[in-house]
Amino acid sequence: MFFEPGFGCQEEENETVYWLLFKGNKFLVIENNGQFALPDINLDQLNIKPIRKQYVGQLDGRPCYVAELSPNTVAPDGMSFCNLRRLFDHIPEDLFVLAGKAYQIMHWDRSHQYCSQCGTQTENKMDERAKRCPSCGFVNYPRISPAIIVAITRGNEILLAKGSRFQTGFYSVLAGFVEPGETFEECVQREVAEEVGIKVKNIKYFGSQPWPFPDSLMAGFTADYDSGDLNIDKKEILDARWFTADQLPLIPSSGSIARQLIDWFSQANYSK
C-alpha cells in the first residue's frame, strides 16, 4: 500500500475512489478469517450518503477520501464497523496509520465547521490542510494535542501504573498532556510528580507516535528515579509499583509506544 498525502483533488470523471468510512469512531473494514482489510467499495452502488468528506491524498494512485457517515448507517454485507482503537495491532500497521490520520482529519473537519471568531461557516483551503473563514479571514489548522509518555527506571526496576481509565486492567508507563508554555521535559517532571509523587532525572527523548484518539501526538521519554516515595493520585491512578523485567504484569499490546518503552527496558534488563 502506497499513500501520498494531499490537500486538494481534481479527480477525473468516473475515476475510482478509495473511501475510508467512519461511523462515529468506528471504521468500516472487511474481515476474512480474522484478518481485517480496507474494503474497495462504490458509495453510489451501495446507496451510502456521507455527512461530510475530506480528501486525504492518493492511495495506490487513486484519490482517497475520509467520510463521516450517519449513526444509522448499516454496514454492507461482508463488512463491519469496528472501533478503531480495538483494531490496533489487528490490521496492517500502514493501514492503521492511514486510518488514524483520516480519523484525525475527520474529527477536525467535524469540529471546525464554523469560525471561532465570527461564527461564519468555514471553507477548505486548497493549498494546505486548513480551513479559512470567508468573512474575517481567520485560518485554523488541524488540532494536535502533544502528550508525554515516560518509562521511569530505578536500577533493574521499571515503574508501571494501572490507570483509572484502563478498562482491561493492564499496567503501563505514565503519560499526560503538555500544558501551555511547558517544555516536554517540564511536562515529564510535573506529570510524574502529580501522578505518583516522585522526582525523576536524566530525562532523555525516546521516540514519538501519533495517537488518533482523537488527536494526540505522544512524545516518548526515558527517565531515572531521583527521590521520593510513591504517593499516587487516586483520581488518575489505581495502582503503581516497581517491577523487574521477569515479573511484569499485564502490559499494553505490541506496536504502541508504551509497549516499545517497556520492551526497551525488558531487553536491557532481562538477562541481568
Interval 202-256: pLDDT, tens: 999 999 999 999 999 999 999 999 999 999 999 989 999 999 999 999 999 888 9
For residue 153, CA distances in Å to 28, 62, 89, 157, 235 come to: 40, 47, 26, 6, 23
Q: List CB contacts of 91: < 8 A, sequence separation 6 or more.
A: 29, 36, 37, 99
Same-domain status, 50 and 70 = yes
CA distance 157 to 178: 26
Same-domain status, 68 and 101 = yes
Domain span including residue 223: 145-269
Confidence at residue 110, expressed as pLDDT on a 0 to 100 scale = 93
Burial label for 43, CB within 10 Å (0-12, 13-18, 19+), is middle
Omega before residue 63 within 30° of 0, cis: no
Reading the block at residue 30, the C-alpha cell is 472487511
Q: What is the pLDDT along the chain (272 residues), one digit of tens a residue?
A: 899 999 877 666 667 899 999 999 999 999 887 788 999 988 888 888 899 999 999 999 999 999 999 999 999 988 999 999 888 888 888 999 999 999 999 999 999 999 999 999 999 998 899 999 999 999 999 999 999 999 999 999 999 999 887 666 899 999 999 999 999 999 999 999 999 999 999 999 999 999 999 999 999 999 999 999 999 999 989 999 999 999 999 999 888 999 999 999 999 986 55
Confidence at residue 149, expressed as pLDDT on a 0 to 100 scale = 98
Same-domain status, 18 and 99 = yes
Write the CATH number for 249: 3.90.79.10
Same-domain status, 159 and 95 = no
Write the CATH number for 59: 3.90.79
- Binding-site members for a divalent metal cation are 175, 191, 195, 236
Same-domain status, 263 and 235 = yes
* Residues linked to residue 153 through DSSP beta bridges, in sequence order: 158, 224
Rounded to 5 degrees, φ, ψ at 85 are: -65, -35
- Binding-site members are 85, 115, 118, 128, 133, 136, 141, 175, 191, 195, 209-216, 236, 258
Same-domain status, 107 and 117 = no
Confidence at residue 85, expressed as pLDDT on a 0 to 100 scale = 87
Domain count, the chain: 3
Three-state DSSP class for residue 247: helix
Same-domain status, 163 and 208 = yes
- Binding-site members for substrate are 85, 128, 141, 209-216, 258
Same-domain status, 132 and 70 = no
Rounded to 5 degrees, φ, ψ at 173 are: -80, 165
Confidence at residue 18, expressed as pLDDT on a 0 to 100 scale = 92
Same-domain status, 80 and 189 = no
pLDDT (tens digit per residue) in 116-129: 999 999 999 988 99
